Amino acid sequence: MNVAEFILGAIQNLGTDTAFCLTGGMAMHINRAADESDLRMIYCNHEQAVAAAADGYARAKDYQVPGLAIVTSGPGVTNTITSVASAFYDSIPEFILAGQVKTADINMYGVRSYGAQETPHLKLMEPITKAAFRYVPAEVDDDALAEKLALAITGRKGPVFIEIPLDIQAQAVEDAKERLTKINAKITRMVLDDKKASETAIAEIISGLVAASKPVLVIGNGSRIAGIPRDKIKKLVEKLGIPTLFTWASFDLLSHDHELNFGCAGGLAPTHANKILQAADFVLFLGARLDLLTTAFNPNNYGKSARRIVVELDAREIEKNLAMQNTTFINENIAGIFDGLAESEIKLQPADGWLSNANLLRLSDEKSELLAFVDKGLTTYKIAQVLSGNQGVDYIVPTASGYAIEGIARFYKPNGKSTFAWGGHVLGSMGLGLPSAIGAVAALNRPVVCLEGDGGLLLNIQEVFTLAANPDLPLSIIVLNNGGYQSIIKSQNRAFNKEFGASSASGLYAVPFNLISDLAGLTYIKCNTLTEFEVAMEKGLHRCLLELKVEEDGYRGPAVQTKFDKHGKPYSTDIEDISWC
CATH 1.10.10.10 fits 373-549, yes or no: no
pLDDT digits (tens, 9 = 90+) for 268-300: 889 999 999 999 999 999 999 999 989 998 999
Residue 450 has a pLDDT of 97
Distance between CA atoms of residues 222 and 201, nearest Å:
17
Under CATH, what is the fold of the domain 3-194?
Answer: Rossmann fold (3.40.50)
Contact residues for 363 (Cβ-Cβ < 8 A; gap 6+): none
Q: What percent of the chain has pLDDT over 90?
A: 83
Enter the CATH code of domain 199-359.
3.40.50.1220
pLDDT of residue 553: 67
Condensed to tens digits (0 to 9), the pLDDT of residues 227-284 reads: 999 999 999 999 999 999 999 999 999 999 999 999 999 988 899 999 999 999 999 9
Total-model pTM: 0.95
Residue 404 scores a pLDDT above 80 = no
**Distance from chain centroid for Cα 18:** 19
pLDDT for the residue numbered 425: 87
How does DSSP classify residue 2?
B
**What are the angstrom distances between the C-alpha of 190 and each of 88, 184, 339?**
20, 10, 18
Q: Is 542's pLDDT higher than 80?
A: yes
Buried b / exposed e over 353-380, threshold 16 CB at 10 Å, is: ebbebbeebbeebeebbeeebeeeebbb
- The domains of the chain are located at 3-194, 199-359, 373-549
Is there a shared CATH topology between the 199-359 domain and the 373-549 domain?
A: yes
The one-letter amino acid code at 365 reads D
Q: Which of 399-413, 510-524, 532-546 is predicted with the least confidence, judged by mean pLDDT? A: 399-413
Band the pLDDT of 554: cuts 50, 70, 90. Answer: low
Chain segment 85-140, per-residue pLDDT in tens: 999 999 999 999 999 999 999 999 999 999 999 999 999 999 999 999 999 999 99
Q: Check pLDDT > 80 for residue 383.
A: yes
